[in-house]
Amino acid sequence: MQSLFDGLSEQLLRGGVGRRHARRYVAELRDHLDDLIAEEREAGGGAGGLEARALARLGSAEALAGAMIARRELKAWSASAPVAAWLVAPSLALAGGAALAMAGVVAASTWIGSADGVVMFSNAVLPVGLGWALVALAVRQRSAPVWPIAGLVVLAAAGAALQVEVSLPSAAAHGEIDLAPTLASLPGLAGFAERVALNLALTLAPYIGLSLRRAAQTGAGRAA
Amino acid sequence: MAATNPSFMNGVPELLVLRLLRNGEMYGYQLVQAIRDETGEVVSLGEGVVYPVLHALEKSGAITSRRRAVGGRSRIYYALAPAGVSRLSELTSLWSRITGAVQQVLVGEGDAEPV
């Protein structure tokens, strides 16, 4: 019985059902099954077939999963609007995060110290951090790999293309903070390619590792 | 137990759930039993599939849910929301027109109004 509900939970998530709905559905089905078993017991049926009869009344795993997966309104955002969830939103978050960090530097009383931090945060930490958030979402939601991988590639490219640059003010010149595309020159292109490769390595590796671990756990659950 | 009858069931579970919840809040198992009893087992759902209907109705704002502990068990009770009252009225009206139109065809009067 436990394996029925574990398997159903996996099927729902793979079908794109939102985690909250999937979890609650499985909990409600467990309660419903308990009620059906109690009803069958009261009706005086043979003890041997109690569970089987209750399960038959509850519905097959395919019917239970299919009824939920067919409801578009119960899908997770990542399944119902994959382009927005995997491609657009992370890039917007990247640009927004970099803009906020730059605004923080401008608002700070002194640029010295905060400037290095903002460059590091915007150019290195933010793209990788957002990539890890996508990885966590993909693994939790059991998403098919196409969208998460596309999202990580787009994010790695956007993170490498948009670089925050800070020039500290001196006696002769004012300071400058800039969010600039790095693809305008050949040296810029080489640096871009390096940064894409680094961002991808830092985000794809955990994704592949966690996905393999999840697949092994699911396989072990089925075998048990 | 009566066999389930999926081909004529489009929209019917929503209608029955909303109508039954008009009498007061219920949890899923109670609702399924009520549907079976009230329809004399003519309408028989695969019992577990009532929950997607409930989740969808809640998502649309037609019903609300709350967790209640009863008899040592925690259950999710569903209740009709104001939006559900108007949805029930719409569905009831639509259902009456459909059954009226089908009945006209069956008795051979033809000329049913479009639904």
- Convert the pLDDT of each residue in A145-168 to its tens digit: 999 999 999 999 998 888 777 766
Residue B64: helix, strand or coil by DSSP? strand
Q: What is the mean pLDDT of residues A104-115?
A: 64
The interface predicted TM-score (ipTM) is: 0.81
Nearest to A58 among B48, B55, B73 (CB): B48
User: Using the beta-carbon criterion (under 8 Å), do A36 and B29 form an inter-chain contact?
Assistant: yes
| Ordered DSSP codes for B21-60 | HTT--EEHHHHHHHHHHHTTTSS---GGGHHHHHHHHHHT
- Do B28 and A67 make contact, defined as CB atoms within 8 angstroms? no
Q: CA of A75: which chain B residue's CA is closest?
A: B56
Give the minimum alpha-carbon distance from B78 to chain A in angstroms, rounded to a whole number. Answer: 12
Q: Give the Cα separation of A11 and A9 in Å (integer).
A: 5
Arithmetic mean of pLDDT, A98-110: 74
CB-based contact A63 B46, cutoff 8 Å: yes
The verdict on a CB contact (< 8 Å) between B46 and A58 is yes
Which tens digit of pLDDT belongs to each residue from B41-98? Answer: 777 777 888 999 999 999 999 999 999 988 788 899 999 999 999 999 999 998 998 8
Contacts of B47 in chain A (CB under 8 A): 32, 36, 57-59
> What is the arithmetic mean of pLDDT over B97-113?
79
**What gap in Å lies between CA A156 and CA A202, rounded to an integer?**
10
Q: B66: distance to nearest CA of chain A, Å?
A: 12
Measured in angstroms, the CA of B27 and the nearest CA of chain A are apart by 9
Amino acid at A77: W
Give chain B's length.
115
In angstroms, the separation between the Cα of residue A25 and the nearest Cα of chain B is 7
